[in-house]
Structure 1
Amino acid sequence: MQAVRELERAVKELGLRGLNLQCFEHRLPINDKLMYPLYAKCVELDIPVNIHCGINFSMQTTMAYGQPFLLDEVLTHFPDLRVCAAPPGWPWVQELLGVAWKHPTLFIGLVMVKPKLLAVANSGYESLLQYGRTLLTDRIIFGSGFPRLSPGQAVREIDALGLPDDVKDLWLYQNAKRFLRL
């Protein structure tokens, strides 16, 4: 409850616009019931949550905490919770796409992944490009992962993917605008 109270204070008094959760750092699965009061408070406060999804490179914890299928249970219990899964689920990209297809409030953040990898055969990201230009065009959100990749370089790599202009506009701006309610 201390975390819930601090979240509410941060939003109401400090102007926080969203919550970022790196569940692997706390050794808690995304669907751990200890997280549910925070998810409920995010819905109540109408703020989005970014959840680390996919591999982590910590030697102190396992990768299992970031498996995307754990989001399915959370979003089944909290259908109004706006979630951005970032980074985009590697090595479980297909799983993340399935959960996003099922839950309309789940967005996928292109964060900490070089966009050019989406077009590289056997990178594990090919299906993200396929679904991101078709069924999930309205749920891909750009993020550079700075300082690992500069925003300019990331945008150039997105430009090189050959996406239609309307899809690029969604990925680079409109989806984030809608997700953040700007």
Structure 2
Amino acid sequence: MNSTIIDFRVRVPSVARPPISAGGDVYTQYEAVLDIGDGWHKDMDELLAEMDESGIGHAVLHAEYEHGDYADALNEEVAEQVRLRPERFSGFGTVTLEPFSVMRAVRQIERVAALGLKGINVQPSFFGHTIDDRLLYPIYAKATELGLAVAIHTGVNYSRRHPIEAERPVRLDQVACDFPEATLIACHAAWPWVPEIVAVARRHPNVLIDFGGLAPKYLGVPGSGWEMMLRFMDRLLRHQVLFATDWPVFPHGRALEEWHGLGLRAETLDALLHGNAARLLSAREQAVLV
């Protein structure tokens, strides 16, 4: 991948993904806040075209969903897209959280590893769990045992049925304490608890932060709540941050323009846009080989 820009989290454009309307009121407020509209229906060709236009050479496809039980189909779709274009994509699978069965989830993780994917993505609060719910610990344990990173939804969500307290960074801190060998990724950077996720990442070198679905420009706006993140990521947390868009939630071109406009050091931008992701993906590859 050389020094190509790596988007560490995009949603796989999958025929297996249900229509937004199937989610009912899970998505009502999402549309009101994010106004994605037809963006939810973009296909693989459109993703590749947007990546090419923005100079993004590689992306990590996530089997990410917020309702129902689509895990198996999405895992296979992610794996197929990675197989077809390994130079452009890596992949993260997922597990079924509703209805939840520990052994089914463990077998799904084994399948994710067998497919050659790099990690799993889980969104606990959408399915009635907290990040540190002990029912999820076998998932974290099995993923860690198999060398898979674990990406976890943190911070605000816009579903008015699912409380955001379930995804506070302090809960991720507990998981990091219990799984010091795990690679944990806090998706969406845990806003509004920015000082809390900064403290958790500072405590745990195995906790990384992705900024998918966020407008980077707000990190530079006084009073936005992001001030501590901007300061720490440019120094002490430089090697724990990941460029991500959560495409199609946020456009690649705008994200890159806004990151470049924040005045971050050149070495920070290189780590954010390429170095940290490349190192993580390489480490996952080595874990599989071992």
Q: Which TM-score band applies after superposition, normalised by the shorter structure?
A: over 0.9
Query: What CA distance in whole angstroms lies between the structure 1 residues aligned with 2:179 and 2:278?
Result: 21
- 2:203 corresponds to which of 97, 102, 108: 102
Matched-pair identity in %: 38
- 1:84 corresponds to which of 185, 188, 204: 185
For structure 2, which runs of at least 5 residues remain unmatched after alignment? 1-102, 284-290
2:111 corresponding residue in structure 1? 9
Residues 144, 151 of structure 1: 8 Å contact kept = yes
Query: What CA distance in whole angstroms lies between the structure 1 residues aligned with 2:263 and 2:156?
Result: 27
Query: What CA distance in whole angstroms lies between the structure 1 residues aligned with 2:280 and 2:207?
Result: 9
Residues 153, 167 of structure 2: 8 Å contact kept = yes
Query: What CA distance in whole angstroms lies between the structure 2 residues aligned with 1:113 and 1:51?
Result: 16
C-alpha deviation, 1:81, in angstroms: 0.6
What letter corresponds to residue 8 of structure 1 in structure 2?
E
**Is residue 39 of structure 1 aligned with residue 140 of structure 2?**
yes
C-alpha deviation, 1:181, in angstroms: 2.4
Residues 4, 41 of structure 1: 8 Å contact kept = yes
CA displacement 1:117-174 (0-9 Å, x = unmatched): 1000111111111100011011110012322321121111111111121110000010
**Is residue 153 of structure 1 aligned with residue 254 of structure 2?**
yes
Residues 56, 66 of structure 1: 8 Å contact kept = no
Q: Which runs of structure 1 show a deviation greater than 4 angstroms over 4 or more consecutive aligned residues?
A: none
What letter corresponds to residue 5 of structure 1 in structure 2?
R
Query: What CA distance in whole angstroms lies between the structure 1 residues aligned with 2:113 and 2:267?
Result: 33
RMSD, aligned α-carbons? 1.1
C-alpha deviation, 1:26, in angstroms: 1.3
CA displacement 1:74-125 (0-9 Å, x = unmatched): 1111001101101011110110111100000000101111111100011111
Q: Which structure has the highest strand share of the two?
A: 2
What letter corresponds to residue 165 of structure 1 in structure 2?
A
**Is residue 27 of structure 1 aligned with residue 128 of structure 2?**
yes
What letter corresponds to residue 168 of structure 1 in structure 2?
L
Query: What CA distance in whole angstroms lies between the structure 1 residues aligned with 2:176 and 2:130?
Result: 14
**Is residue 56 of structure 1 aligned with residue 188 of structure 2?**
no
Q: Which has the larger radius of gyration?
A: 2
Query: What CA distance in whole angstroms lies between the structure 2 residues aligned with 1:18 and 1:148?
Result: 21
Residues 194, 229 of structure 2: 8 Å contact kept = yes
Query: What CA distance in whole angstroms lies between the structure 1 residues aligned with 2:280 and 2:195?
Result: 22
Query: What CA distance in whole angstroms lies between the structure 2 residues aligned with 1:92 and 1:142?
Result: 19
Residues 176, 182 of structure 2: 8 Å contact kept = yes
Query: What CA distance in whole angstroms lies between the structure 2 residues aligned with 1:165 and 1:59?
Result: 40
C-alpha deviation, 1:16, in angstroms: 2.3
Residues 212, 250 of structure 2: 8 Å contact kept = no
2:175 corresponding residue in structure 1? 74
Query: What CA distance in whole angstroms lies between the structure 2 residues aligned with 1:90 and 1:161?
Result: 18
CA displacement 1:29-86 (0-9 Å, x = unmatched): 1001111101111111111111001011112211111111001111111001101101
Aligned length: 181
Q: State the TM-score, normalized to the length of structure 1.
A: 0.96
* SS state at 1:4 partner: helix
